[in-house]
Amino acid sequence: MDEWHYQPVSDLEQSLLQRLRRFPREPDMLCYGIRSASALALRAWLACYHRFTIIGRENLPATGPYVLLSNHSSHLDALCLLSSVPLRRLHETFPAAAEDYFFVNLPRMVLSALLINALPFNRQGRTRRSLALCQHLLTQGNILVLFPEGTRSVTREIRRFRPGIGLLLAGTTFAAVPCYLSGAREAMCKGSWLPKPRRIILTIGAPRSYADRPRDKGSVLQICRELQCAVEQLQEGQFTAGSQPVPKPALSSSATMSGGPG
């Protein structure tokens, strides 16, 4: 008779705090249950309170790995993008969250690890290691939610995309899905703690991939520019469409109140 082979889970002797901080996390039934329930509640909240609308949902690839990337101006952004993927792929969707902000204390860690399934992304120093982790997740068929601006923008303007996104996509077949979120900043701008009942619209653009690009500096920056252009086009498209009940920020009182310099 052969011996049995036991395979203890890798976080067996780690405390709760260590288990929340570690990545990749071991799947946990209770954690999955709570996350699914909270995702349902979140979708209901967004639909009722923010009248969350998704345009171009058919652009999301039905299977396989892809990167969702969008402009970033609010804590609601990751929640909105998370709510746009099908529920059955919830546990394989990883929004990248700044390690220096979301993984520093217990409440934030519970929120980001348990409910959002966030990937701790190191913005300072160890960016390459975090990017390798992203690549690994994509190879395993997961969905990533990235904000290439690197931080929340306080104006309507989209900040310049960081090169990381180009480095991640150059020479790979992973699909990149550019998105534009409007209304999230008005609903909950940087520094505010309570969301206001503003409408949020997510426009999902056509997926693209950069398999034929070399992994050199020029093409990486080129990919960043192209993706930024794609997001900006979605932004313009949303306003020129005219059918969207989104007021022009110049005329909107909420936009000026939210502290934008322009």
Partner 1 sequence: MSPRAALHSPVFRDYVLLTFGLLTIAAIVLLSLRVLLKKNVRSVWIIYRSWLAIVPAMGAVVFLGREAVIIGTTLLSILGFKELARATGLYRDWWMTGAVYLAIAAVGAASLAPDPATRAPGWLGLFLALPVYAISFLLIIPVIRNKTHGQLQAMSLSILGFIYIGWMFGHLGFLANAGHAYGYVLYVLLATEVNDIAAFTFGKLLGRHPLRSNISPRKTWEGALGAAGVSMLMPWALRFSFPHFSAFELVVTGLIVGIGGQLGDLCISVIKRDIGIKDMGAALPGHGGVLDRIDSLIFVTPLFFHMVKYFNGLV
Number of residues that bind partner 1 (CB under 8 A): 12
The verdict on 14 binding partner 1 (CB under 8 A) reads yes
Interface pattern 42-61 for partner 1 (x via CB under 8 A): --------------------
Both tokens of 105, joined, read: 């204390």
Tokens in use for 2?
Answer: 């052969």
Q: Does 36 bind partner 1 (CB under 8 A)?
A: no
1 is a site residue for partner 1 (CB under 8 A): no
Among 148, 157, 144, smallest CA distance to 127 is for: 148
Stretch of 1-9, 36-44, 188-196, 233-241 lying at the interface with partner 1 (CB under 8 A): 1-9
Q: Tokens 């909107």 correspond to what residue?
A: 252
Residue 212 within binding range of partner 1, rule CB under 8 A: no
Span 189-208, contacts to partner 1 by CB under 8 A: none
Q: Does 124 bind partner 1 (CB under 8 A)?
A: no
Which is closer to partner 1, CB of 12 or CB of 250? Answer: 12
Q: Is 63 in the site for partner 1 (CB under 8 A)?
A: no
DSSP class of residue 90? Answer: G
Kindly indicate which of the ranges 9-17, 148-156, 226-234, 250-258 contains the residues binding partner 1, using the contact rule CB under 8 A: 9-17
- My answer on whether omega of the bond before 214 falls inside 30° of 0, hence cis, is no
Which residues pair with residue 121 across a beta bridge?
Answer: 98
Nearest distance, CB of residue 29 and partner 1, angstroms: 6
Closer of 113 and 175 to partner 1 (Cβ)? 113
Work out whether 261 is an interface residue with partner 1 (CB under 8 A). no
Binding flag, residue 15, partner 1 (CB under 8 A): yes
Closer residue to partner 1, CB minimum distance, 4 or 193: 4
The phi and psi torsions of 13 (rounded to 5 degrees) equal: -100, 25
Which stretch, 13-21, 69-77, 120-128, 234-242, contacts partner 1 (CB under 8 A)?
13-21
Candidates 20, 23, 25, 29; binder of partner 1 (CB under 8 A) is 29
DSSP symbol at 208: B
Q: Taking phi first (over 0 means left), then psi (-120 to 50 degrees means alpha), and beta for anything else, what does residue 6 get?
A: beta
Residue with tokens 């990486």: 220
Helical residues (DSSP H) of the chain, grouped into ranges: 16-21, 29-49, 76-82, 99-102, 106-109, 127-139, 164-169, 184-187, 217-240, 253-257
Min CB(39)–partner 1 separation in Å: 18
How far is residue 93's CA from residue 158's CA, in Å, rounded to a whole number? 24
Backbone phi, then psi, for 179, in 5-degree steps? -130, 155
Q: Which amino acid is at 51?
A: R
CA distance 234 to 70: 10
Among 7, 63, 105, 240, binds partner 1 (CB under 8 A): 7
Q: Does 8 bind partner 1 (CB under 8 A)?
A: yes
Contacts with partner 1, residue ranges (CB under 8 A): 4, 6-9, 12-15, 18, 27, 29
